[in-house]
Amino acid sequence: MENRLPVIITRELIIYPSVVSPVMIGRPFSLKAAREALTLNKQALFVTQLNAELESPSSMTDLLEYGTVGLFIQHIVPPDGSIRAIVEGLEKVRITELVYQDDTFYAYYEPVELLVPENPDIGNYVRLLREYFAKYIELAKNVPEGAFNVFDESADPWGIAFKVLNALRLKFDEQIELFRINDLGDLLRRLVDILLREIEFMNLKINIESRVSEEIKKYQKQYFLQQEIKEIQKELGTTEEDEFDNMEKAIRDSLMPEDVKKKALGELNKLRRTPSMSPDSTVLRNYLDWLINLPWGVYTEDNLDINHAREILDEDHYGLEEQKERILEYLAVLKLKGEVRGQVICFVGPPGVGKTSLAKSIARALNRKFVRISLGGLRDEAEIKGHRRTYVGALPGKIIQQIRRAGSSNPVFLLDEIDKVGQDWRGDPQAALMEVLDPEINKFFQDHYLEVDYDLSQVLFITTANTTYTIPKPLLDRMEVIPIRGYLENEKFHIAKKFLLPKQIRASGLPDGTLQVTAKAVHRIINEYSREAGLRELERQIAKITRKAAKIYADENKKIKVSAANLEEFLGQPRYRLRELTETLPAGVAYGLAWTEFGGEILRIEVAKMDGSGKLELTGQLGDIMKESAKAALTYIRTNYLDFGLERDFYNKIDLHLHVPEGSIPKDGPSAGVTILVAMLSSLTGKTVPSDVGMTGEITITGQVLAIGGLEEKLLAAKRHGLTTVYVPFENKKDVDEIKKDITEKLNIKFVKHVSEIVKDVFNF
């Protein structure tokens, strides 16, 4: 007959055989089992649950399959009704069945036979266990008092193993794993390994604590030695005070405002009283170093000769006449007024058109120092205004850093890519920039690190951006925008011949007269290898030619001539194909004109019709505004179907698919509305649009053509891509009148008020 006992379920506690352990019993089903055991033979089966967070185990799967028969030695019942007892483990058993009866768990079990094999290794492991456990007790601070004495009295190897296991502070999962072992040799080996691990850990911990203590003593020793050195230096007449005296002299001789001098001298007094080995000493020295070395009251003398400025600008840049004129006007005001307050220039234009180089030219013309910071991707306000000195490794912001680097308080300061400033939880750099650029308050600019006012009112701030749309209005309001458009082919040609080619020949190390690039070759580079608004790709292609020419010259020591005929030997196959103006576009295709922050672009819009039920499919990463334009265009066509020779229910028999190529690039804006409508009509009627025709304009569902922006860049793109006729909203006529004739010449610009004018002209309806 199997044995049966009431079960007391424990949490994160294993009762081991041969071990006396305290137990607190509080859950109702365990209390009933304990009371029953106490009234009978004082024996119960102690089993631990696998998940300590489980409040009420319900089956054998919740419990460890092994338990221990325990004998109540003594117990007390506190006022809260729980039972606190001392229990001696008698034997390890395996549970065969668990039953729940009368709110009490009972278990049927069978004893686990714990054999001691006749193996000499067992005795050796027991000796090791005694030795390592003694060392463990010596090092550990949390072993119960008297644990070794109780363990030493036992001669049973299993009893020794269980007592060591009970004394070790192991994770509960590891205790369960070890209690499941029924092979004595395996259990002893595992315990020896665990003791070695714990001893090694405690030795490491003791060593670390010892080193920390030694460092503290070392610091105290250094402090006392430093004091002795000071006394010796006093006797010799050379003290650290000499350094402090030099710092004080530098502060008093500087042109700092009086309030800043007062603060600097106060910080110097703190430094005198601070031990040199203290971390605070380093912080104070760095702070005073920044205050002393800033160019307080240091200004370069301006060269305000307008003719000199014009020569510098013409020397550094070809074209850009309007922009140069604006700059000269700005300098004239500076000359007459004698200050730059209220003047912040913002150059806006595509990449590579010379925004940064214009700022450098202004600095050279004025004879001022030039410094720059890039704001692209900046998200931390502290990058502008610095960190407070309480932070480890704190420094002033980029504004103060660059002022110190310039060595004067009136440099030309370029804030590059101001349209790409971001913001996140670290603050809003754009708000900090408003303080920097506001002429009313930047005289009292206060960096978080310096904590004193620094006068930025004499700094000539210049900013650059690809677009103004992402610049907050309050920040944009503080700047005078000077737009810089892309370059015409003729301008690119002269820039390449006059600036880029000589520059790259010098950079490649070629002697003068070694490389000749013909005019036709330059035109071909511009049209077939670098079709862009700016000049960077053009310069890269020229640099590629000069590098290959340098290799040829180094190998063969001969002159090189690059012509339109042999250009591909230097640059490979052309990246762009010149547009054939006589070719016919497929039905459903029309060219629109788009504005991007990289300049004007040609937008190819394609529409295909197919049998269907009136669906409109839009692809090519179109934004919401562009999708609305497509729906408005289709509504206009359906409303005026008779004008286009379409059946009344044509829409119900077909599906239209509108696609704008280069699908990886997002596209949005209302100015493609006219082009979308023309492409749809071309697809529906089968009539084609001439390949040299482009158009731009926002449409309404009644067919009105509304004004658009970025017209100069769009016309420049049309000219660059070989279009000859461009349809433009009538409301933009005033803008066309202000555009340079170099751009509009040879372009047949037609102004339209209603989309029917374009349809009639293109399709002859």
668 and 730 part of one domain: yes
| Contact between 488 and 744 (Cβ < 8 Å) | no
Q: pLDDT at position 581, please?
A: 47
Q: Are residues 279 and 371 in the same domain?
A: no
Whole-number pLDDT of residue 141:
66
Instruction: For residues 664 and 549, state if they share a domain.
Output: no
**Higher pLDDT among residues 334 and 77, named by residue:** 77
Answer yes or no: is 426 within a domain: yes
In a domain, 701, yes or no: yes
Task: Please determine, for residue 393, whether its predicted confidence score (pLDDT) is greater than 60.
Answer: yes
Q: What is the pLDDT of residues 284-318, one digit of tens each?
A: 889 999 999 999 989 998 888 889 889 988 888 88
Mark whether 272 and 401 lie in a shared domain.
Answer: no
Boundary residue ending a domain (483, 518, 536): 483
Q: What is the mean pLDDT of residues 323-327?
A: 86
- Among the three residues 512, 541, 571, which one is the final residue of a domain in this structure? 571
What digits encode the pLDDT tens for the residues 111-135?
998 888 888 788 888 888 888 888 8
Which active-site residues does the annotation give? 671, 714
Q: Give 607's pLDDT tier (boundaries 50, 70, 90).
A: very high
| pLDDT over 70 percentage in the chain | 91
In this predicted model, what pLDDT tens digit does every residue of 221-271 receive, in sequence order?
666 766 666 666 566 655 555 678 888 888 888 889 999 999 989 988 888
d(CA 403, CA 447): 12
- Terminal alpha carbon distance of the chain: 107
**Among the listed residues 207, 203, 192, the one whose alpha carbon sits nearest the alpha carbon of residue 132:** 192
The verdict on 625 and 727 lying in the same domain is yes
| Residue 161: inside a domain | no
Both tokens of 193, joined, read 């390994």
Would you say residue 350 has pLDDT above 80?
yes
The SS3 assignment for 505 reads: helix
- pLDDT, the chain, mean: 85
Q: For residue 744, is it within any domain? A: yes
Whether residue 279 is found in the same domain as residue 331? no
Asked if residue 299 is part of any domain, the answer here is no
Co-location of 617 and 660 in the same domain? yes
- Choose the weakest-confidence range: 69-78, 133-142, 500-509, 640-649: 133-142
- Which among 483, 518, 549 is the end of a domain? 483
Domain count within the chain: 5
- CATH number, position 106: 2.30.130.40
Same domain, 450 and 493: no
Q: What is the pLDDT of residue 302?
A: 86
Q: What is the pLDDT of residue 229?
A: 62
Q: Inform me whether the pLDDT recorded for 1 exceeds 50.
A: no
Residue 187 forms part of a structural domain? no
Number of other residues whose CB lies within 10 A of the CB of residue 583: 9
Residue 4, pLDDT above cutoff 60: yes
Same domain, 275 and 403: no
Does residue 589 carry a pLDDT above 90?
Answer: yes
Helix (H, G, I), strand (E, B) or coil at 39: helix
Inform me whether the pLDDT recorded for 533 exceeds 50.
Answer: yes
Alpha-carbon gap, residue 463 to 478, rounded angstroms: 11
User: Which tens digits make up the pLDDT trace of 411-468?
Assistant: 999 999 998 887 666 667 888 888 888 878 888 899 999 899 999 888 999 999 988 8
Kindly state whether residues 533 and 434 are assigned to the same domain: no
What the block records as the tokens of 107 is: 């278990």
Q: Convert the pLDDT of each residue in 492-509 to its tens digit.
A: 888 888 888 999 999 988
Same domain? 642 vs 517: no
Q: Which range of residues forms the domain containing residue 43? A: 3-111
Which pLDDT belongs to residue 599? 66
Give yes or no for residue 575 having a pLDDT over 70. yes
Q: Are residues 602 and 563 in the same domain?
A: no
* CATH label of the domain that carries residue 513: 1.10.8.60
Cα–Cα distance for residue pair 151/556, rounded to 1 Å: 93
pTM of the model: 0.59
User: Residue 726: its pLDDT value, please?
Assistant: 94
Is position 364 within any domain? yes
Judge whether 233 lies within some domain. no
Angle at 655 between CA 652 and CA 658, to 5 degrees: 140
